[in-house]
Amino acid sequence: MPADVMLHGTLYLIPTPLGEGDLGWILPAEVRQRISRLERFIVEHPKTARHFLKQVNPLRAVQTLKLEVLDEHTPAGEIEALLAPLLAGENVGLLSEAGCPAIADPGGALVRLAHRKKIRVVPFVGPSSILLALMASGLNGQRFRFHGYLPVALDIRNKEIARLEQTSITADETQIFIETPYRNQKLLEALVQQCHTKTDLCVACNLTRADEYVSTKSIGEWRTGNWPDLQKKPTVFLLHGQKQSKKF
């Protein structure tokens, strides 16, 4: 390891649960032990972060921990200041609100800056809703692309759905995206209405929770009904188009 890196602390990337449940199912014991040794964290929401950290180490008073906030509203000019403890030699944990830090998460900018400052970055093992959904979907796991959120405006969103479907067909590539939980049902309706009947759609909802739901069906099958209730539930959508037969 380069000498300048050894003078700095380590930035640990800490996955957090996707819902309530036993941490033993999703975080290895060694990971929980290493988290419990840290005294400083960068988090999205202090309240939920403290709840998680209390589960990791119930014997420690969470009030003694030092928490700094990094969320979608943090100005870019303030991110560098969050690295000061690391540059001074202190180890720091970066927590996502749910799932893996820096994946569909504001922590990515901090991690990139840490590399530029020659700070060692260590990812811990833990749940990622995007990869869990892809694993469970049965769709192409060799070629896939994550798009984050689709546009909200109806016409623009429908055009984007058509573009993603065509890209999936052309590249034989699974398209993955998410939505704000209270708009999940509307997005499912749009996908079922806009896509070709042979296109495969996977809906993965409340992953790792007791009421987890994962189903992959063709759009034609989705049109027969029996839709899940996705309202206000974290959901990942995965789309894979099929080449359409030419008509003569």
**95: nearest Cα among 63, 71, 117, 59:** 71
Q: Give per-residue pLDDT as tens, 181-223.
A: 999 999 999 999 999 999 999 999 999 998 999 999 999 999 9
pLDDT of 162 above 90: yes
- Output the pLDDT for position 2: 54
What is the predicted pLDDT for the residue at 24? 86
Q: Which residue has the higher pLDDT, 197 or 247?
A: 197
b vs e for 62-87, b when ≥16 Cβ sit within 10 Å of the residue's Cβ?
beebebbebeeebeeeebeebbebbe
Q: Which residues contact 75 (CB under 8 A, 6 or more apart)?
A: none
The pTM of the full predicted model, rounded to 2 decimals, is 0.88
Banded model confidence at residue 242, pLDDT cuts 50, 70, 90: confident
Note whether 11 and 109 are within 8 A (CB).
no
pLDDT at 61 > cutoff 50 = yes
Q: Tell me, what's the pLDDT at 248?
A: 37
* Rg, C-alpha atoms of the chain: 21
